[in-house]
Amino acid sequence: MTNTLFAVGGFVLMFALMLARIPIGIAMGITGVIGYGLHSGWGPGFALLGQVPWSVVTDYSFSVIPMFVLMGAFAASSGMSRDLFKMGEAWFGHRRGGLAIGSIVACGGFAAINGSSVATAATMATVALPEMRARHYHPGFAAGVIAAGGTIGIMIPPSVIFVLYGIMTETDIARLFFAGVVPGLLAIVMYSITISIMARLRPHWLPAGERFSWPQRWR
């Protein structure tokens, strides 16, 4: 069997396991063990299965990741995510499409707390999506805004992906964090510009909201 067919077979097996509703991590692990066993022998394959999970779990370098996740859980449970959205609504909600822009800004703020795109998208979906639907935003566009805003979690530090990449490649994580600031802020600006353009092209998709006074905005 050629290496190409070997790789394709691995991907097919992995996606088949995912379609069978097996968790992604377990599906990848099963595929890896089977592939390594077929390639190098079942003895080394099962030895790998016994060694790698333990070495990863006990690696001190990865201890920062659950701390980021815990910090995001605290932020979500404390209501900080809703406060971030209310801030975005107060400053931008009076404009057509402003609620969507406020959601993007809130995604950026929440991403700077937890470092996870999945957590950012999931949290803001429970906070911002119902508000946009209540104000008669186009359902597909509202969902797309939350999905796009969730991707900011990868770039704006602290980013779990940057931590993993830095550990695996032995790259300075502080420099990775610093390098993610400008692209993350640029993504917020570009998403906001795109929403403003869509508000002109499809005004019935993005209605304007109420205007807040300046004292309310600063508060």
HEC profile of 119-151? HHHHHHHHHHHHHHHHCCCCHHHHHHHHHHHHC
Q: Phi first, then psi: what are they for 170, rounded to 5°?
A: 55, 45
pLDDT in tens, 7-34: 888 889 999 999 998 988 888 888 888 8
Distance CA 27, CA 13 (A): 8
Total residues belonging to the chain: 219
Distance CA 150, CA 85 (A): 14
Amino acid at 204: H
Q: Looking at the chain, which runs of residues are DSSP E strands?
A: none
pLDDT in tens, 160-210: 888 888 888 888 888 988 888 899 899 999 999 999 899 888 888 888 777
Distance CA 84, CA 59 (A): 34
How large is the greatest C-alpha to C-alpha distance in the chain, in angstroms? Answer: 70
> Where do the structural domains in the chain lie, given as residue ranges?
3-58, 63-218
Prediction pTM value: 0.68
